[in-house]
Structure 1
Amino acid sequence: MLRFVLLFFLQIPLIASNSIRQNRCELKLVADYIFYRDIGNRNYANAARYLINLIERVNGIFLPIEWGLDINGDRLSNLGFVIKEMKIFEKPEDSSSISHFNSPIQSDVNAVDILDSFSAEEGTNSTCLTILITAKSLQSGVVGLANIGDPDRRGVCAVKKLNNSHYMNTALITVRRRSDLMITRVVDLVLAHELGHSWGSIHDDEMQDECVPKNSRDGRFVMWESANTGYDKNNYQFSSCSIRSIHRVLYSLAHRCFVEEKKAFCGNGILEEGEQCDGGAHFQHFGVRDDCCTKECKLRLGAFCSPRHSECCSLNCTFLSKDIVCHAEKSDMCKAEANCSGVSEKCPNPKPLEDGTNCTDGGKCLNGDCIPFCHSISSDLMPCLCEDAKIACQRCCRSITTGICNPVEPEQWLQDNSMCIYGHCINKVCVKETTDTGPIWRFFQNFNGREQRKFLADYIVFIVVAVSLMIWCPCGALIVYKDRQEQNELIQKRLAAQKNVQILNNESNNNSKQSFNKTPKRSYSINEITNSTIEEDKIKPSHSSIALLRLKNEDDIKENIFNSRARHRNEWKTKDGNERETSL
């Protein structure tokens, strides 16, 4: 009864409290030249629209979550993101360094080097987080990287320390996985994953079912270590493990650096309600000036449009001609190429591709929509990833009715570099990889000199013990192994020696019996033997069991007769010291 009373009173603050008013994490979004070229098709408005829509979709994942109560007892709910500043590079950096975040190098780039370069140059304390969006291909199939959120040092709301050259409230994602551009739903989940890291969550622990449910019809959660496909319900939700981790960080930080939600903000470079244009005047010293827009977010006199927001607007603030392509063909979305109309700043809606055109994941286009492969077989089927390692790279479908995920028949193998449950497929094998670089590596990367010294001072005893165990445990195990090996060898040698002794003894006993059986039955007295002389050359080999030597006197004869009889009773010892009795 007491338990239920306590639970009731513990729930009262959550029910009675109001939602926190500071519910938006302000973002500085930066897109590099490779993103501008490959995603924006060298059109600022296209690139900007992609980023704005990306944040809107990610907000759809974060806003419904109840994270718990903050330090003031307010509910941490309706928490999301707002773009405070957006910067898109229309030219690459002149630097020849491949580690610069805006270098023209687009493949096999180290994610840690890129984030370090970005954090040093574009980091700021004026926003909650600073995010780099790139289209580079990162090493090892990594698609994102973030500083793990911590109340004091890194992640969300982190403030740059005076002795540190890097800002710690930074993260990056790429829209390219290995050599291929990712579809939008996968990019959404990658960004949500990295923002989850920034807010304080590590990867879901595979050993805990509440974090990583096995063979669940709803799939893996946002913080699963490998990139999600977006097929399953849980792909768009945080596990209870992640929610607890994030709550520990937001508990004391949300009211510190989050801001109240605003409907519009003139000067952030985003076209919002009530604005004719927005050239980003508030951050004009960071980017390129928009000559078509005033600081009050109104079109200048004589301007028809702004190229910052319209794909079919020129730098002269006029409409582009009909021969200008404003929308590239996208087979994954079943959309054809589109040209400007010449009479509007807006790009006309692209026409659908021909029905039957191949689209994402083996699907086919139908009326401008990509119909997944599984759905084309049956309306009861939807795509899924098989969890069994043996079939992880086969195309699989889940029954909506039963929730069971099975490979299709006849079997179809996924192409190399296709996503599988643990990473990507190579030669029909699911090769394990993670969405981002391991949290432990980033933990040590985030240390500065003072923090390193403090860490060592606080945990020096633990470190010494841990290092000692790492050295001595393997050594001790090796010594025990060698001792047991030598002991086993010694036992084998003793058993072999014992066996040889038994064989020799049996042969000796057999020879003795044969010798006595052939000897004529005759009785001898001691006196008769004493008065006789036994010549050495008359001793037969069969008498070896009696071991007669040259007998010269009565004492020798008596002693040898006694020893012979004693041995044939006899009681002897084996080599290992155990007494055994035998009878002839």
Structure 2
Amino acid sequence: MNKIFINLIDRVNTIYTRTVWRDNESDDGFTDIGFVIKNILVHTSPTKIADHYNSNITKFDVGRLLQAFSYAEGSPDYCLVHLFTAQPFSNGVLGLGYIASPKLGTSGGICSEGTYIQNKLVYFNTALSSARSSYGGPVITREADIVTAHEFGHNWGSPHDPASLECSPVSSAGGPYIMFTYSVSGYDQNNKIFSPCSKRSIKRVLQAKSSICFTEIEHTFCGNQRVEPGEDCDVGLPKDGAGNDRCCSSDCKFKSNAVCSPLNSLCCSSSCQYLPAGEICRKSDLNSCKENSVCKYVHSFAMNGKSAECPTANATADGTPCLDEGECQNGECVSFCEKKNINMKPCICENETESCFRCCRSKISNECRPFIQKNFDKPKILKDGTRCIHGYCSNGTCIREVQDLIEHIWNIIDKWDINSFIKFIKNNMVGTVAILTLCIWIPVSIFVNSIDREASLDYEREISWIFSNNLVDSKKRVRIVEGLQHVDQKF
């Protein structure tokens, strides 16, 4: 489970470290700034506190969830704290985050100052994102990466991109950037990079705050649940119970008679020993186009440190159907348009009247048009909830979403009083989650959440393919909410 989040953060980190945050092309700007995981905390059961974000309540408002999460987990020990959850939010909302200000002494985003609420010092260096859309379907890998990068972008001080040719180009001109008001598919070349507008906004925040809480990268850190050079194992920080682990000590070494740690290796038993050869360590999933993975290493390989690792699964046969009418190719689920008998690229038609048709982009003309299999056939209508050009599809119509205002946490806090805060705490509702804490190298740290593994083993298998490196779902129209209460109802 932890590797799922680690891999996601690694991919987002690559986006950030490759970006030069500057005003223009002639400006040197800031570069090589990204994330390092500092701690991961996984909740395996509900927290027995009614007002806690991890309380056993199945439905909640996303704004109140982030408020409660900030109240419990916001911390000056990390530059950023992030919550991952598989709880779907209403109205297509997929995430929420506080925007950093270049003004010193303000709350919200990276390097946030604390704010006293009911005599408690609360830090709003927080954000959250969900692995599920409000329509119940999982978010595919490329969109999950962009959503996380988008939320981090707000935490770093970027608002949404303005509706200009420079920062919100159409698909034929490269498409919108990460901080586009609406969600992006990941199909267009600009979808995984930041716009000039975002770079300028974030540069101002970095100029003001990077020296406060950013640090040089540590190549190894015992306690981040990631086995690094010089470590036998890594099950977290001592404050999270690492010292009580059966297999791994608080200094990241195997305890007596232990040869592996099940937290770090799927082919390791709860008694800290290798699972027998042939044991299934990762079950097959047609949506990820992989067969069962089985433990292949035996005791004689113990000294090379690989015997507890779950090997890469064999790919399912090419042409096997997978999600959203796609097919398996070389172990990956490719989209409908990329099937071998079609050989086009997926896209969203820019014409609003065609936006809820299945659209593909020709590799020859580069045109994005509704796909028609045969002459006189009608284009296929996308299912309800699928993302379209300005919102989401409903009965074949693209429903426009009203553009929301982005509220900054430092303004909202001024409006709070004790009664409003008590009201939000009483109304807070949350599902079971897992927290992942990140340290950014120039540490931004992050708490990551997922559903109780003990409550549903099926969920763990499902979340594995949601965040795997494969295409695993259809193009859903989802929205991300930024800010404290009614911010950015757009992603």
* TM-score, length-scaled by structure 2: 0.74
Q: What is the SS of the residue equivalent to 2:37?
A: strand
- 1:182 is aligned to 139
- 1:572 is aligned to none
Distance 1:287 1:233, change over 3 A: farther
- 2:3 is aligned to 49
* Kept after mapping to 1: 8 A contact 2:98/2:408: no
Distance 2:262 2:101 in 1: 40
1:501-524 deviation digits (Å, cap 9, x = unpaired): xxxxxxxxxxxxxxxxxxxxxxxx
1:179-224 deviation digits (Å, cap 9, x = unpaired): 1111111110110000000001111122x11121134342211011
Q: What is the SS of the residue equivalent to 2:19?
A: coil
**How far 1:332 sits from its partner (Å)?**
2.9
* Kept after mapping to 1: 8 A contact 2:107/2:409: no
Distance 1:403 1:378, change over 3 A: farther
Distance 1:294 1:381 in 2: 52
- 2:369 is aligned to 406
Structure 1 stretch displaced more, 311-320 or 374-383: 374-383
Distance 1:238 1:358 in 2: 34
**How far 1:321 sits from its partner (Å)?**
4.7
Pick the aligned partner of 1:140 from 82, 91, 94: 91
Aligned positions of 1:380-399 closer than 5 A: 381-399=344-362
Q: Aligned-residue CA RMSD in angstroms?
A: 2.6
* Kept after mapping to 2: 8 A contact 1:109/1:136: no
**How far 1:52 sits from its partner (Å)?**
0.8
| 1:310 matches 2:265 | yes
Distance 1:295 1:95, change over 3 A: closer
Q: What is the SS of the residue equivalent to 1:197?
A: helix
- 2:187 is aligned to 231
**How far 1:233 sits from its partner (Å)?**
1.1
Aligned positions of 1:51-66 closer than 5 A: 51-66=5-20
**How far 1:290 sits from its partner (Å)?**
2.4
Distance 1:160 1:53, change over 3 A: same
Distance 1:291 1:145, change over 3 A: same
Aligned positions of 1:299-378 closer than 5 A: 299-321=254-276, 325-341=280-296, 343=298, 344-376=307-339
- Structure 1 portions without partners, runs of 5+: 1-46, 451-584
**How far 1:440 sits from its partner (Å)?**
2.5
Distance 1:446 1:331 in 2: 47
Distance 1:431 1:312 in 2: 48
- 2:80 is aligned to 129
* Kept after mapping to 2: 8 A contact 1:109/1:139: no
Distance 1:442 1:389 in 2: 34
Q: What is the SS of the residue equivalent to 1:279?
A: coil
Pick the aligned partner of 1:101 from 40, 53, 58: 53
**How far 1:397 sits from its partner (Å)?**
1.2
Distance 1:131 1:173 in 2: 8
Distance 1:407 1:170 in 2: 40
Aligned positions of 1:138-217 closer than 5 A: 138-151=89-102, 152-163=106-117, 165-178=121-134, 179-206=136-163, 208-217=164-173
- 1:262 is aligned to 218
Distance 1:105 1:355 in 2: 42
Distance 1:330 1:231 in 2: 24
Q: What is the SS of the residue equivalent to 1:103?
A: coil
**How far 1:95 sits from its partner (Å)?**
4.3
Could you tell me which amino acid in structure 2 is paired with residue 415 of structure 1? Answer: K
| 1:253 matches 2:219 | no
Between structure 1 and structure 2, the one with the greater Rg is 1
**How far 1:267 sits from its partner (Å)?**
2.5
Distance 1:340 1:416, change over 3 A: farther
Distance 2:315 2:56 in 1: 33
**How far 1:373 sits from its partner (Å)?**
1.9
**How far 1:57 sits from its partner (Å)?**
0.1
* Kept after mapping to 2: 8 A contact 1:57/1:188: yes
Q: What is the SS of the residue equivalent to 2:38?
A: strand
Distance 1:414 1:371 in 2: 17
- 1:82 is aligned to 36
- Structure 2 portions without partners, runs of 5+: 299-306, 418-491
Count of aligned residue pairs for this structure pair: 394
Percent identity of equivalent pairs: 38
Distance 1:403 1:96 in 2: 54
Q: What is the SS of the residue equivalent to 1:316?
A: coil
Structure 1 stretch displaced more, 296-305 or 122-131: 296-305
Could you tell me which amino acid in structure 2 is paired with residue 333 of structure 1? Answer: S
Distance 1:401 1:428, change over 3 A: same
1:133-189 deviation digits (Å, cap 9, x = unpaired): 111111221111001111332211102134565311011011111211111111101
Pick the aligned partner of 2:414 from 432, 447, 452: 447
* Kept after mapping to 2: 8 A contact 1:141/1:433: no
- 2:481 is aligned to none
Could you tell me which amino acid in structure 2 is paired with residue 102 of structure 1? Answer: N
Could you tell me which amino acid in structure 2 is paired with residue 314 of structure 1? Answer: S
* Kept after mapping to 2: 8 A contact 1:200/1:245: yes
- 1:507 is aligned to none
Distance 1:246 1:444 in 2: 19
1:294-347 deviation digits (Å, cap 9, x = unpaired): 233221221110122111222221123568643233333211333445834222
* Kept after mapping to 1: 8 A contact 2:291/2:314: yes
Of structures 1 and 2, the one scoring higher in RCO (CA 8 A, sep 6+) is: 2
- 2:65 is aligned to 114
* Kept after mapping to 1: 8 A contact 2:108/2:409: no
Q: What is the SS of the residue equivalent to 2:197?
A: helix
* Kept after mapping to 2: 8 A contact 1:124/1:167: yes
* Kept after mapping to 1: 8 A contact 2:288/2:333: yes
**How far 1:56 sits from its partner (Å)?**
0.5
Distance 1:116 1:188 in 2: 23
Distance 2:325 2:414 in 1: 45
Distance 1:229 1:332, change over 3 A: farther
* Kept after mapping to 1: 8 A contact 2:247/2:258: yes
Structure with more of its chain in helix, by fraction = 1
